[in-house]
Structures are given as structure tokens and as C-alpha cells.
Amino acid sequence: MELTMLKSKIHRATVVQAELDYIGSITVDQDLLDASGILEYEKVQIVNINNGSRFETYTITGQRGSGLICLNGAAARHVQVGDKIIIMCYAQLTPEEAQSHQPKVIFVDDNNGISRVSRYEKHGRLEDL
């Protein structure tokens, strides 16, 4: 048996672009993908803090250092430029692996630059890396 566990998340990123005429996906600055461990074409769940919508899509690598967060295609219908979103990805772990697993959390500034990298501890507390 495997459990679906939170692997990592990019917390409160700002949507910079929303492109309807594109294949559905989310383009994310390469620095954010690297820091979070999210891979290109990996399935992610998006939560829009502004309107409460939740949806899934996959990632595309954006230019490193650009701060780009762009929802593409059908995913763009769930956001507006300036919305704050949370990008989450999950991993399949055995119960034994899950016991010691600590998801990574990437906090960003207003320009989607990395401001803090943490791991969850017990009871939802954060430990800076």
C-alpha cells in the first residue's frame, strides 16, 4: 500500500500572466521549481487564495529568475493576473516512508522570488532549511 502525501508547495505565488490561447498548464520560474523539487510536466494542484478555486494541471519550466507564474489554457480561466495561488505536488510513499517524510514549503516575495525555504515539522510547525 502507498499513501499520497504532500511532497512540496510554493506558497502564495502571484499570478503574473494568464494565457487562454495555450495548452493547459502552469509555467513556473525554474528557480521555484528547483527549490521545491517540482519537475517539468509534473502534475500539480493549484489553490487560488483569492477566489477559492482548486484545480489540477502540469508544470512547464519558465525562465530562471523571471518570477514567472503563468496559467495557460483552461487553467487560465480559474485565475486573474495578481491572484495569489498555492502550487502543491504530491508523492506516493509507503507507510514507513511517510513516517519520516517532511514536505518542503517555498515562500515567495511579491515578485515570486524565494524568500524562505522550510520543512513541515509535527503539528504543522515550520523549520527553516
Choosing from 8, 22, 58, 120, which is the catalytic residue?
58
3-state secondary structure 62-120: ECCCCCCEEEEHHHHHHCCCCCEEEEEEEEEECHHHHHHCCCEEEEECCCCCEEEEEEE
What residues form DSSP beta bridges with 46?
55, 87
Choosing from 22, 25, 41, 100, which is the catalytic residue?
25
User: Has 41 been annotated as catalytic?
Assistant: no
User: Has 58 been annotated as catalytic?
Assistant: yes
Cell numbers standing for residue 63: 525562465
Taking the CA atoms of 11, 14, 18 and 22 in sequence, report the sign of the dihedral they define. negative
What residues act catalytically?
25, 58
